Amino acid sequence: MIRIKHLSKRYKTKNQEVQAVDNVSLDIAKGEIFGVIGYSGAGKSTFVRLINRLEEPTDGSILIHDKDITKMPSNQLREKRQKIGMIFQHFNLLWSRTVYDNIAFPLEIAGVPKSKRKEKVLELINLVGLAGKENAYPSQLSGGQKQRVGIARALANDPEVLLCDEATSALDPETTDDILDLLVSINKKLGLTIILITHEMNVIQKICHRVAVMENGKVVETGEVLDVFVKPTSKTTKRFVQQLNPLEHEKDNLAAFINDREDSEVVKLHFIGDRAKRALISEVAKTFDVEINILQGSVTPTQEGAYGTLFVELIGENSVLQETIDYMKNTGVEVEVLRNV
């Protein structure tokens, strides 16, 4: 669907050259919600603005349905942009226009007849949950309602791709969840490809299928959200994962909870997908002659399923401990033995 090859953006100032996006290559499948996450200054907002050429790339190519938009002349680009919707952190609404007129605006620009505009606008108002607000002005709306107007406006021309640049950063947590639920619903109903830029790992966790992590203009890690959560490789990704699951980095704090005995092992268990619902600890207690001390645990839901992390201390004879650990591994649960906690 979208193939990005060696994409770069450099800014030249009087005294220096800034590499905002540095040789990024990504493939994004049709119909997926693809997250791009990074801290401030990572280059993620510049990256998303390159996709619809609000920023002109210095190098590289962007292919959407095998058509390279970096080589399109201005007349073709204007037509292509109608199929690339975009929503922004601060809504970018026309404050002198009503909800209805804000949503109708891109249809007016595209020359859609008035009768068809009305039908489309009312359809979108219902889709984003703003029925009854047609004649309200942006100043009369909450932050979440303003973003719903922005989403409806971005969908007006039936885009193939929806770009979301920090679309929930200005919203409170409850409203953020509502907007994310709306994006998931739109993705499923319309089969729309969504590229979501954020600095919040909980946003990635909640709705994205895959994620790319950016740092200093480069993609330092990419993969399915569950894989990235369970086995982060870059330092930046590990910091983001820690925001949602502090247990990943709390091995040093477990010592206070552990018995000072030689006949014990401490293990970290990762439960992924349906295995997160498995009553493994109960199975082990019934099957093996071991004492089990649960130290810490958490379960994190993602779009592709849940994953859980559990730290447990096993107490028993060495041979039985080994059998217990082998049994856990054979169930498909990822087991890490922490011998030096």
Tens place of pLDDT per residue across the chain (341 aa): 899 999 999 998 888 888 999 999 999 999 999 999 999 999 999 999 999 999 999 999 999 988 899 998 888 888 888 899 999 888 889 999 999 999 999 999 888 999 899 999 999 999 999 999 999 999 999 999 999 999 999 999 999 999 999 989 888 989 999 999 999 999 999 999 999 999 998 899 889 999 999 999 999 999 999 888 878 899 999 888 877 765 555 555 555 555 566 778 888 888 776 665 678 888 898 999 999 988 888 777 777 777 778 888 899 998 999 999 999 888 888 888 876 44
Tokens of 319: 């041979």
Residue 250's pLDDT is what?
Answer: 54
- Please state, in angstroms and as integers, the Cα–Cα distance from residue 140 to each residue in 96, 99, 103, 111, 145, following that order: 12, 10, 16, 29, 9
Indicate whether 239 and 256 sit together in one domain: no
Start-to-end Cα distance in the chain = 47
Contact (Cβ atoms closer than 8 angstroms) between residue 55 and residue 214: no
Verify that 158 and 225 share a domain, yes or no. Answer: yes
Statement to judge: residues 284 and 147 lie in one domain: no
169 and 97 in a single domain? The answer is: yes
Contacts of 223 (CB under 8 A, 6+ apart): 210, 211
Token pair of 146 as six digits = 């303003």
DSSP E strand boundaries for the chain: 2-12, 17-28, 33-37, 59-64, 67-68, 84-88, 161-165, 193-198, 210-215, 218-224, 264-272, 291-302, 305-315, 334-337
Q: Are 121 and 115 in contact (CB under 8 A)?
A: no
Q: Say which residues have a Cβ less than 8 Å from residue 182's Cβ, sequence separation at least 6.
A: 128, 129, 148, 151
Q: Which residue has the tokens 């505009």?
A: 117
Query: Same domain, yes or no, for 147 and 258?
Result: no
Supply angle C-alpha 177, 234, 172, rounded to 5.
20
Edge-to-edge strands, sheet with 291-302: 291-302, 305-315, 264-272, 334-337
* pTM of this prediction exceeds 0.75: yes
* 137 and 224 both lie in a single domain: yes
Residues 86 and 35 in one domain: yes
Nearest one of 297, 304, 306, 311 to 276, comparing CA atoms:
306
Do 270 and 199 fall within a single domain? no
CA quadruple 217, 222, 225, 230: dihedral sign: negative
| 237 and 274 together in one domain | no
Q: Among 222, 244, 266, give the residue marking a domain's end.
A: 244
pLDDT digit string (tens) for 106-140?
A: 999 888 999 899 999 999 999 999 999 999 999 99
Longest dimension (CA), the chain: 80
> Helix 280-287 and helix 318-330: axis angle, to 10°?
140
Same domain, 118 and 209: yes
pLDDT digits (tens, 9 = 90+) for 143-160: 999 999 999 999 999 999
Per-residue pLDDT of 282-313, as tens digits, reads: 889 899 999 998 888 877 777 777 777 888 88
Q: CATH number of the domain that 286 lies in? A: 3.30.70.260
Name the domain count of the chain.
2
Residues contacting 103, CB < 8 A, separation 6+: 121, 124, 125, 149, 152, 153, 156
> Which residue, 195, 210, 244, sits at the end of a domain?
244
244, 277, 297 - which closes a domain: 244
Which CATH number covers residue 95?
Answer: 3.40.50.300
Q: CA-CA distance, 273 to 276, in Å (whole number)?
A: 6
| Same domain, residue pair 149 and 25 | yes
Q: Are residues 76 and 59 in the same domain?
A: yes
What are residue 316's phi and psi, to 5 degrees? Answer: 170, -175
**Containing domain of residue 304, as a range?**
248-337
Looking at residue 341, its pLDDT comes to: 45
Nearest to 65 by CA among 158, 7, 2, 157: 2
